[in-house]
Structure 1
């Protein structure tokens, strides 16, 4: 059963019991008041008649008696049903009964004990389903002797009807008042208790379904607000714990990726060293023999173009092997104070020299709020060279490279962006993998961005792709401002 319903029933029962008790007391008081008024009137009438009959001779006619009684009766609608009997000194009823709204046969009593004192006697008698108030007053002559008695019988049916109507009205009033108060209490308890508890229950279900940001507004009821406050604090603690667990999970994934990447680097390093050794010697022989044959060919010899192609491809293979050897060896880097602005200009100049045969125009824009960092200068230079070469190759129709830097919480934040076609979300998580490339076969080795990520990680930082940036590729590089030792663990942190 709901709290509001239970509270409504409890209070309704209490109101009904209290109202019925007060009503019963009120009805009894009203009955006593009405009976007292009727008794007073009956006593007054009986005593007045008794005092009158002291000078009245019983031998007078009935008409004379009726005139006297009519003259003494009060003109009140509440006493229009009475019967007056007269008795002699022996208690025998004299045939001078006065009827007023009651029949003579009503409560016919031919003999009554006549009071011997001066006081009146009263009693309530019941006859035929009706109640009557009987007041008997003695008739005393001038000598003080009892000559007879006057009985006034007053019907109480009118009083009973009035009391019954009063009870009906009171019950109707109690019913309406109880329903109104009960409805008011029900609505108040619903707004103050049931609805806030329902919101609390709904919020608990949402929290159980994973909505950790669920909070409840206070209701204005002190006790309920304390419960809501505890719920909000609990939800906040759960959200904080969930956030910490998510961070730990991400850190675990990052470490696992780093370990896998380190194992991959070790395997690639071993493979690169073996390939350089195994391929270098025969490649040198092939290149040397081709150059010797080329020198023996004339300018118009048909074999010349083929020999030139062999030499070019051999040189290309040789460059690839040198890069693989450089990647496999990873000499210890030295830490020094680096001027970032000068280093970026130097890297851009190297890239333009390597692309001097290209007809595309690429410009450099920098916004360096922070230019000083302690790092490996050669590594950073190679980082920007690789990123710039990648941008040069992407912007086939020319464009702009923008580099900005700022300091944030002890880190140097460098943003590198270009105006090329950008990076598809489908491959954003793979661009830092070794040998991954989207270019045609023979146009790239897939090591440029891989080596850039390795350099950043060796400096104790991380590099990631800005997925929300539109209109070209955008990389965010985070480097520590001061670094004493070189990191021995490398890991791929992109996309975090």
Structure 2
């Protein structure tokens, strides 16, 4: 066709735009051109109508929105054909010539054939990408499952001698004068055995994949109970707690104890991220959709800290970690267990992070079962 420039643009349905993904013969101005809005452009018409359209001279046509770029690049005639896969248009193949021109039916048919092959190749590539992502997710799940089984075996082996140690410790009833340094040693020994016992129980919970015991639950009450539990630790670290709890939240079917574990873990993670003080905001709110009118469909709980944030690699691996052990003495269950609990409630948890802090968004449907 003696084309001056060829370009492939793909549809971003979420943003209602066409984005340039590949080109041949394009200059800098064309490569840097903004995305095309579907509802306001000639190329968008090609997608909407799912049929080829052409312009004899884009430099003087009011239908073409990027005339300055066309003049800069020496683009004149344009043939744009849709990339169609199944019943959906997924993009456009654009062919430009450097002079005024009317494309023949034969040329249009050739371009349509190229577009058909391109659409097929693109969808195959997308399918392969989804397969790779699914396989990676499956490997991660299998790895996590194997880790849970192994951890369960190890925890069982640890729990028996630990139980004996605790019984012996309490039977000794070690008491020393108030100023004796061994008093503090005894106290620490007791705390550490309790800490180790908590870790063992958390691992066993993970390995058993215990089913939640659902009942009507008040999210705000769970959060307020948590505030009482951790207020001393907040004071010790000079961390301010900012509660923003929506009044009259609908109750959800949930396991209070499991959600308490989740909220406690997210709170302790936030405290670990703010060793020198800061603010933790815990916000509860209900969300609605137009389909359900005034009936809330989800309860959202946000945990936002003012720590240093999480790097991308840590965020990527966050839900693969069995235990929260980023700081010595941490007692929270790991985010892998947090994620499992939320999923068992039919919900989801997401992480947003920057240098200004991290936010965990927990979303629980009001009809959890």
Alignment partner, residue 242 of structure 2: 364
Cα 1:237–1:275 change in 2 (3 A) is same
- Within 5 A, what are the aligned runs for 1:186-225? 215=94, 223=103
Q: Per-residue deviation at 1:242?
A: 3.8
Of residues 403, 408, 411, the one that matches 2:283 is 403
Uncovered stretches (5+) of structure 1, i.e. residues with no partner: 4-187, 205-210, 485-496
Alignment partner, residue 443 of structure 1: 329
Cα deviation 1:293-340 (Å, max 9, x = unaligned):
453645565654444433332222112112222322333224445444
Counterpart Cα distance in 2 of 1:233 and 1:466? 44
Of residues 139, 144, 148, the one that matches 1:260 is 139
Q: Compare CA radii of gyration and give the structure with the larger one.
A: 1
Uncovered stretches (5+) of structure 2, i.e. residues with no partner: 4-55, 61-73, 84-89
Cα deviation 1:339-377 (Å, max 9, x = unaligned):
444443344444336x36625242224375994464424
Q: Confirm or deny: 8 A CA contact 1:436 1:447 kept in the other structure.
A: yes
User: Over the residues paired in the alignment, what is the CA RMSD in angstroms?
Assistant: 4.9
Cα 1:358–1:249 change in 2 (3 A) is same
Q: Identify, as 1 or 2, the structure richer in strand.
A: 2
Cα 1:480–1:255 change in 2 (3 A) is farther
Q: Confirm or deny: 8 A CA contact 2:174 2:186 kept in the other structure.
A: no
Of residues 424, 429, 445, the one that matches 2:311 is 424
Alignment partner, residue 453 of structure 1: 339
Alignment partner, residue 384 of structure 1: 263
Counterpart Cα distance in 2 of 1:225 and 1:373? 64
Q: Per-residue deviation at 1:388?
A: 1.9
Q: Confirm or deny: 8 A CA contact 1:395 1:419 kept in the other structure.
A: yes
Counterpart Cα distance in 2 of 1:413 and 1:215? 46
Q: TM-score, normalised by structure 2?
A: 0.58
Cα 1:232–1:483 change in 2 (3 A) is farther
Q: Confirm or deny: 8 A CA contact 1:215 1:235 kept in the other structure.
A: no
Cα 1:299–1:449 change in 2 (3 A) is same
Cα 1:267–1:301 change in 2 (3 A) is same
Cα deviation 1:373-404 (Å, max 9, x = unaligned):
64424233332222122112322313131435
Counterpart Cα distance in 2 of 1:407 and 1:237? 43
- Within 5 A, what are the aligned runs for 1:291-306? 291-293=170-172, 295=174, 297-299=176-178, 303-306=182-185
Counterpart Cα distance in 2 of 1:347 and 1:413? 18
Alignment partner, residue 101 of structure 1: none
